Amino acid sequence: DRDHRLYDLADVAAGDAPGVDLRAFVRAFRTLAADPSESEYRKALVDVTRLYAVDSGGGATAAD
């Protein structure tokens, strides 16, 4: 559903860090179960946050 808030956040992230693949954000959350556990959701969020921080030029330690 393109109207989901996640797409708004991904679009903003893409504008902030054009080197980050927007599709990677979408894939990370689309692969979650329909009703993910809090742990699964947090893991996906950490993964895409790391991708965003590293690819935006912050270096590997930016997400630490």
Q: Which tens digits make up the pLDDT trace of 6-36?
A: 778 777 877 777 776 778 777 877 877 788 8
* Range of the structural domain that residue 49 is part of: 5-63
Question: Looking at residue 6, what is its pLDDT?
Answer: 74
User: CA–CA separation, 47 vs 43, rounded Å?
Assistant: 6
Q: Which of 29, 1, 18, 25 is nearest to 55 (CA)?
A: 18
User: Between these two residues, 29 and 1, which has the higher pLDDT value?
Assistant: 29
**Complete DSSP assignment for 22-48:** HHHHHHHHHTS-SS--HHHHHHHHHHH
Question: Looking at residue 61, what is its pLDDT?
Answer: 44
User: CA–CA separation, 52 vs 34, rounded Å?
Assistant: 24
As for how many domains the chain has, the answer is: 1
Token digits for 40?
Answer: 């699964």
